[in-house]
Amino acid sequence: MESLRFKALDNLSKGLPKVKVESPGKITEIFNENVFTLQVARKYLSDEAYKSLVASTRGGKKIDRNMGSQIANGIRAWAESKGVTHFTHWFQPLTGLSAEKHDSFFTLKSDGTPIEEFEGAALIQQEPDASSFPSGGLRATFEARGYTAWDPSSPAFIMEIGQGKTLCIPTIFVSYTGESLDTKTPLLKALVALDKAAVDVCQYFDKNVTKVTATLGWEQEYFVIDAGLANTRPDLLLAGRTVFGHAPAKGQQLDDHYFGAIPERIYAFMRDFEQESYKLGIPIRTRHNEVAPAQFECAPIFEEINLAVDHNTLLMDIMERVAKRHGLKCLLHEKPFAGINGSGKHNNWSMATDTGVNLLAPGKTPKTNLMFLAFFVNSIKAVHDYADLLRASIASAGNDHRLGANEAPPAIISIFIGKYLTQVLNQVESRVSGKFDEQDEAMLKLDIHKSIPELMLDNTDRNRTSPFAFTGNKFEFRAVGSSANCAISMTTLNAIMAETLRQFKVDVDALIEKGEKKEVAIMQVIQKYIVDSKAILFEGDGYSDEWEKEAAKRGLANVKTTPLALDAYVTDKAKHLFESNEIYSHVELEARHEIMLEAYVKKVQIEARVMGDLATTFILPSAIKYQNVLISNIKGLKEVGLSEAAYANQKQVLEAISTHINEISDNVEKMIEERKNVNEIADTRAKAIAYCDGVKGKYFDVIRYHVDKLELLVDDAFWLLPKYRELLFLR
Ligand code: ADP
Ligand code: MG
């Protein structure tokens, strides 16, 4: 029987049917088509209901049942006009994916009359039987109830799957006792904390500021490969990454893929998922090839952070689904292929006031520059003080392959700010020492203004090796993993910013109380913060060995693995931070820590199983088959009377193959034994560490090494798994 690999290759060479993607005409014609925007709401709601919706969208104001029913009716009328029959609360549990459970508008009255309805209660709150989502022990099985509650700040939308259309209501997900069980709830709480702290600081500069929102523009990297080929790789199907595969003769060394022409099949896929995104109001703006072969990126225009996170979660769903239509497989894993770049999700982050000011954009006047400087330096201080927590917020089994490997940002958190701002900070540091007079003050302000030239806004001053880089008017957190829900890292980032700003105000007020002028007090605290957090600033090559040594000298942490990185979530410092900002209680933090460790254990466990299965049922049989070919060949040559020299090469290959076979079967056996032992460990943290250092650390690389060597020795016709060159270059 022909192997699946060759069937898939055959299909590819026959040329796959191309999916035709209609042009939308103008994007503006379809943008938001499936979103219950405020403009749509205006048409479907009474004045009263509309006002109530607007108020709750802007934050805070609760919607009562009666108003809820009016709004629900309006949403249903709109949805039905588009052919929708079902609705669902759409939420993001701690699986890292989105979740939904559909209900129909259709119901029966007590007398059996069929009607269509959507009650306010059903809009506002639902109780999905969701007891199987991870809860880290927060919900004992006897109290398994979990509630979803409407988040009016993210608009309802219609998800089209094939001919089916479902009204989706973005919601939070909490336990019966109120603990958060999702990624959205803590994010919303962190945003409230940031808003309050940032507005307080803005008040020093502009009394008109009453609201500060965090903004996020994510850049999503991903791989796309032929689905036929992907389907014959059990590792891709079950673990999302290849556990075996020798590097192809050609990888990314020629840099010929980066920003290159987009292959036609991929191009159709991109246009298709972009159009679905536009309809859902996801403002995708850019698309291009990335560095590795078969790697691509897309990015939207930035948005308010909660919406941006929902949009990214939705997009990941859409991409995976639309890829199937095109006979493609979209890989969101951080490291699907060894030896070439992995995928990240740069989180571009800033804060904006309701007066229209980007708080991380250098201003045009000394006064606005001082406000910029305050927020800029507070960001640096926040990252410096809570680097361990930020590192924890991006920790996952997948991301471990990027961080610490010499390609993605390192596991050491540092900040790149560029030449000009480095100069500015140096000036501030040296000038604002102790007391200084009026004249000094004026000069200082002028200097700052002068030394932030327009040039800086130009994105020329870039450092691609920094995990946290200032890029002119925003910070770019580059270490986030491609498959991550960005709410997790953004909750932490906004929480630490809120805390730092809060302390900043306390420090400035203390100086003002002592009689210091406001501007002088602000400058002095800024100066102190620069001194305190200088160690985190680094402008050099983040991938270099020198930086590892230098960072160690500076006392910066370099935690390379997830189980240890996650410790930062349960330190007293973290507990204090999250509890005082009302984001997580101690119980919630500990539950999350547990869930993330469990997720890590399961991921590595699955990879270990896949590795064992593949080695035993794919790799070894092929190798043995080829071994037999060589044996009969040698026997034959001997039989016809040739000397040993005639089959010396075959013998050598045979020996090598035998060695690799033995190494593989020995190590697989030992790995299985190790896994059994590790599974007995009761403490989740200890178990995760044992999976990391024992199961993965001791065996994954060894087994892979021998399998990849075999791939180079065994007759290609016997090899069952599609090779890297096929996965990466055929489409
Ligand atoms: P890169 O050169 O790193 O690819 P881009 O200029 O394409 O960066 O922008 C990356 C992302 O940053 C985009 O999503 C963009 O909308 C976003 N961005 C720009 N300004 C802000 C801001 N003030 N806050 C948050 N994100 C922003
Ligand atoms: Mg970027």
Domain 31-181 CATH (choose: 3.40.50.980, 3.10.20.70, 3.60.150.10, 1.10.260.30):
3.10.20.70
Give the closest residue (by CA) to ligand 1 atom 6.
459
User: How far apart, in whole angstroms, are the C-alpha atoms of residue 340 and residue 675?
Assistant: 29
Q: What is the DSSP letter of 107?
A: E
User: How far apart, in whole angstroms, are the C-alpha atoms of residue 413 and residue 386?
Assistant: 10
- Does the C-beta of 301 come closer than 6 Å to ligand 1? yes
Query: Which is it for the CA torsion 193, 317, 155, 26, positive or negative?
Result: positive
Q: What is the DSSP letter of 556?
A: -
60 Cα: distance to centroid of ligand 1 (angstroms): 28
- Does the C-beta of 490 come closer than 6 Å to ligand 1? no
The percent of residues in the chain predicted with pLDDT above 70, rounded, is: 92
297 Cα: distance to centroid of ligand 1 (angstroms): 13
Q: What is the DSSP letter of 616?
A: I
- Does the C-beta of 215 come closer than 6 Å to ligand 1? yes
- Does the C-beta of 219 come closer than 6 Å to ligand 1? yes
The pLDDT tens digits for 154-179 are 999 999 988 889 999 999 999 888 88
Model pLDDT, residue 622: 97
Window from 91-105, 242-256, 307-321 with minimum mean pLDDT: 242-256
- Does the C-beta of 259 come closer than 6 Å to ligand 1? no
Token pair of 635 as six digits: 């026997």
Model pLDDT, residue 446: 43
Within 10 Å of residue 118's Cβ, how many Cβ atoms? 24
Model pLDDT, residue 421: 85
The highest-level CATH class for domain 599-729 is mainly alpha
Q: Nearest-5° angle of CA 564, CA 565, CA 571? A: 90
Domains of the chain, by residue range, sit at 31-181, 191-582, 599-729
> What CA–CA distances, in Å, run from 706 to 195, 245, 662, 694, 712?
54, 11, 9, 18, 10
Do 191-582 and 599-729 share a fold?
Answer: no
Give the closest residue (by CA) to ligand 1 atom 13.
217
Q: Could you tell me the pLDDT band of residue 461, with boundaries at 50, 70 and 90?
A: low
Pocket test for ligand 1, best of 286, 474, 477 (most atoms within 8 A of CB): 474
- Does the C-beta of 290 come closer than 6 Å to ligand 1? no
5 Cα: distance to centroid of ligand 2 (angstroms): 36
Is residue 314 over pLDDT 90?
A: yes
477 Cα: distance to centroid of ligand 2 (angstroms): 9
Window from 104-118, 219-233, 678-692 with minimum mean pLDDT: 104-118
Is residue 708 over pLDDT 90?
A: yes
- Does the C-beta of 302 come closer than 6 Å to ligand 1? yes
**Cα torsion through 249, 252, 254, 255, rounded to 10:** 170
The pLDDT tens digits for 430-449 are 865 444 444 445 444 545 54
Considering only residues 261 and 456, tell me which one the structure prediction assigns the higher pLDDT.
261
The residues, ordered by sequence, that sit 6+ positions from 636 with a Cβ below 8 Å of its Cβ are: none
Q: Decide: 322 and 412 in contact? Cβ < 8 Å.
A: no
pTM (two decimals): 0.94
- Looking at the CA of residue 217, tell me the nearest atom of ligand 1: 14
- Does the C-beta of 472 come closer than 6 Å to ligand 1? no
Is residue 405 over pLDDT 80?
A: no
Type of residue numbered 93:
P
- Does the C-beta of 457 come closer than 6 Å to ligand 1? no
Question: Based on the number of CB atoms within 10 Å of its own CB, is 282 exposed (0-12), middle (13-18) or buried (19 or more)?
Answer: buried
Q: Could you tell me the pLDDT band of residue 605, with boundaries at 50, 70 and 90?
A: very high
Token pair of 462 as six digits: 């870039």
Model pLDDT, residue 456: 46
Q: Decide: 91 and 182 in contact? Cβ < 8 Å.
A: yes
- Does the C-beta of 216 come closer than 6 Å to ligand 1? yes
Is residue 731 over pLDDT 50?
A: yes
Is residue 533 over pLDDT 90?
A: yes
The pLDDT tens digits for 353-396 are 999 999 999 877 666 688 999 999 999 999 999 999 999 999 99
Average pLDDT over the chain reads 90
Question: Based on the number of CB atoms within 10 Å of its own CB, is 619 exposed (0-12), middle (13-18) or buried (19 or more)?
Answer: buried
The residues, ordered by sequence, that sit 6+ positions from 184 with a Cβ below 8 Å of its Cβ are: 91, 92, 151, 170, 171, 172, 173, 306, 309, 310, 487
User: How far apart, in whole angstroms, are the C-alpha atoms of residue 333 and residue 338?
Assistant: 12
User: How far apart, in whole angstroms, are the C-alpha atoms of residue 500 and residue 386?
Assistant: 10
Q: Decide: 41 and 50 in contact? Cβ < 8 Å.
A: yes
- Looking at the CA of residue 216, tell me the nearest atom of ligand 1: 25
Phi, psi for 231 (deg, rounded to 5)? -65, -20
The pLDDT tens digits for 183-204 are 999 999 999 999 999 999 999 9
- Does the C-beta of 241 come closer than 6 Å to ligand 1? no
Q: For domain 191-582, say whether CATH 3.30.590.10 is its number.
A: yes
